[in-house]
Structure 1
Amino acid sequence: MRLRLVKQGTSFDFFSRWKLWLGISGLLMVVAMVSFFLQGLNYGIDFRGGTTIRTESTQPIDVAQYRAAMEALQLGDITITEVFDPTFPEDQNVAMVRIQAQEGQESVTADVIQRVEAALRAVVPDIKFVSVESVGPKVSGELITTAIIAVILAIGAVLVYIWLRFEWQFALGAVAALVHDVVLTIGIFSELQIKFDLAIIAALLTIVGYSLNDTVVVFDRVRENLRKYKKRPLAEVLNISINETLSRTVMTSVTTLLALIALFVLGGDVIRGFVFAMIWGVIVGTYSSVFVASAILLYLGVKRDWSKPTDTTGNQFANVDA
């Protein structure tokens, strides 16, 4: 007896309320953009410039005590956060101390680091500086520009690929889904004020690839079924295609999420932001492949060209049981 996540021969109607789903997606994107423009992102050291110090001690972290010890140094904006991780032993107390980039300097000098260490050691004698990372303001500005260009080029390359692989209506649907995924991911980071650094940019690019893979599998089956069911309405063909690939979609998403959740719980704080972005991206990417990309295709319509032979490339695993 085989376990099935989706029973065989499903016939869900995904497009009975497709305008509602598009409206919900549009509203969520507006909320994400409003949050971005009002709150902004909690940029990590990669994008803000400055120095991040990771400390460890056997004494419990007292943020107010740490801050009071460093006030006399007059280093400007200082952020102190305690790092919680279930994998840490009871006597391992970790904190992240972030110091803003100093005017006229690319990074905090070694002399300043020694002064910070001395100030903190006065209140926590056994404190250790595990790592010190510095990024200058000029470099951080270049990283922001490079990151934006990377995401835009990735989405642009997808547009060209889908346009050549399918028709322009498919391309616009796929790109709309990718923009939807990226905007909602940036929005959740803005709303929750989770640290946004270069690892999150890597997650965004990975999400683009994951969402595109889901969308291409669905679109391949749609194109095949458009030739198979020549007289059926487009909405019905889309429903048939999504139901036929639903088993594969659910199996891929669930197995990916199982691995990501394990990493989120046990992987430690260093990769937690990246893993959170991936978990969120898998969820919204799966959603957008059905309720955004396909709904846009339904709205735009598609010309049925029967002169081309049926191409099943990318569909050989679409019927895998989940």
Structure 2
Amino acid sequence: MNFKNFNFVGASKYFYTFSIILTIVGAIFLATVGLNYGVDFRSGSNVDITTTKELSKEQLESILNDLGIGEDASITPGEERVNIRFNQILTESQDLALRDAVHKLDKDASFEINTVDPEMAKELGRNAFYAVLLSCIGIIIYVSIRFEWRFAIAAILALMHDAFVVVSVFSIFRLEVNTTFIIAVLTIIGYSINDTIVIFDRIRENLRFAKIKRHSDLVEVVNKSLSQTFARSLYTALSVVIAAFFMLILGGESIKMFSLAIVIGLVIGAYSSIFIASPLWLLFKGKDIKKTKAPKPKTEV
């Protein structure tokens, strides 16, 4: 696949526009409706029921209303698995009553109940924030030591872009955010920085043999570096996205949000490494390059 003459730097403006629009929309949704936190980040009980018979949402709502716990419950039915999320923590008597009521409809149904108290929910939220923050700081230090500060700033801005876009998509479509989502974000950051480092390494290598006199020379180096690494980035991204996609389609309910976040993040990370990170470095580096001015016409005497 030959992209030798493709103007990656010129095409980046379209991706900048797309990312800016998505960022603005995501920021609006985050400010107004926030995230749809799972039970991991807020107190309550999460009940997963594996059934041998299909139970309708109406049947489950009737059971919960009869038990007096249906007001704050959210039911997600499935063919062989039903999820019920409560904003309150179920007591032992409510737990037993729910099991007995469901067993009357399906005697072979099995239960998995996870409970998170308010203090644990706050601690999980703090730890998730610290995990993302520390990973970003570590990446800044690593890239600064291996390359230079311009590469580090461009890389971290691209990573923040990747993470924020994934968070924005989950906010816009009201998808559940739980601990597996945080794992997915950290995985996306790791994958994206790996792809970005490969491109930056090629840019640095090409700079050693380039004679940079004008801004256009710098643009040429970036385009050349991206053309040399584009096929590698594309094929690597496709192979991982395909695997994550089948995890999403064929995987269990517990990893669906993880798989979806991975698919979205890998696609965003693949294009940000090429069309966001590298042009950002060019923007910072280009300020040091004086653009050549047209020579002034000679005045005849």
TM-score, L = length of structure 1:
0.83
> What's the offset of the Cα at 1:65?
2.2
Equivalence for 1:275: 259
The answer to whether residue 109 in structure 2 is matched with residue 138 in structure 1 is no
Equivalence for 2:299: none
Q: CA contact under 8 A between 2:48 and 2:113: conserved in structure 1? A: yes
> What's the offset of the Cα at 1:9?
5.9
The answer to whether residue 23 in structure 2 is matched with residue 39 in structure 1 is no
Equivalence for 1:181: 162
Taking a change above 3 Å as real, the CA distance of residues 19 and 257 of structure 1, as seen in their structure-2 partners, is: closer
Give distance in 2, aligned partners of 1:25 and 1:189: 15
Equivalence for 1:70: 64
Give distance in 2, aligned partners of 1:265 and 1:66: 26
Taking the TM superposition and a 5 Å limit, the aligned residue runs for 1:47-196 are: 47-75=41-69, 76-83=71-78, 93-102=80-89, 108-122=90-104, 124-126=105-107, 128-196=109-177
Give distance in 2, aligned partners of 1:162 and 1:74: 56
Give distance in 1, aligned partners of 2:4 and 2:110: 57
Structure 2 residue aligned with 1:11, among 5, 10, 35?
5
Amino acid at match of 1:241: S
> What's the offset of the Cα at 1:8?
4.2
Equivalence for 1:236: 220
> What's the offset of the Cα at 1:190?
1.0
Q: CA contact under 8 A between 2:39 and 2:46: conserved in structure 1? A: yes
SS, match of residue 12 in structure 1: coil
> What's the offset of the Cα at 1:251?
1.6
Question: Larger Cα Rg: Structure 1 or Structure 2?
Answer: 2
Normalized per residue, which structure has more helix? 2
- C-alpha distance after superposition, 1:6-31 (max 9, x if no partner): x1463211112433432321221111
SS, match of residue 18 in structure 1: helix
Q: Percent same amino acid at aligned positions? A: 32
Q: CA contact under 8 A between 2:52 and 2:106: conserved in structure 1? A: no
Taking a change above 3 Å as real, the CA distance of residues 125 and 280 of structure 1, as seen in their structure-2 partners, is: closer
> What's the offset of the Cα at 1:68?
2.1
Amino acid at match of 1:60: E
> What's the offset of the Cα at 1:67?
1.2
Q: What is the aligned residue count?
A: 284
Q: CA contact under 8 A between 2:11 and 2:275: conserved in structure 1? A: no
Q: CA contact under 8 A between 1:22 and 1:295: conserved in structure 2? A: no
The answer to whether residue 274 in structure 2 is matched with residue 290 in structure 1 is yes
> What's the offset of the Cα at 1:257?
1.5
Equivalence for 1:87: none
RMSD of aligned Cα (Å): 1.9
Range moving further from structure 2, 238-247 or 130-139:
130-139
Amino acid at match of 1:112: Q
Amino acid at match of 2:72: D
- C-alpha distance after superposition, 1:248-288 (max 9, x if no partner): 11121111122112212222222111111111111000110
Amino acid at match of 1:214: D
> What's the offset of the Cα at 1:126?
2.9
Unmatched tracts of structure 2, length 5 or more: 290-301
Amino acid at match of 1:256: V
SS, match of residue 229 in structure 1: coil
> What's the offset of the Cα at 1:162?
1.1
Give distance in 1, aligned partners of 2:264 and 2:132: 17
Give distance in 2, aligned partners of 1:53 and 1:82: 12
Q: CA contact under 8 A between 1:53 and 1:129: conserved in structure 2? A: no
Q: CA contact under 8 A between 1:70 and 1:120: conserved in structure 2? A: no
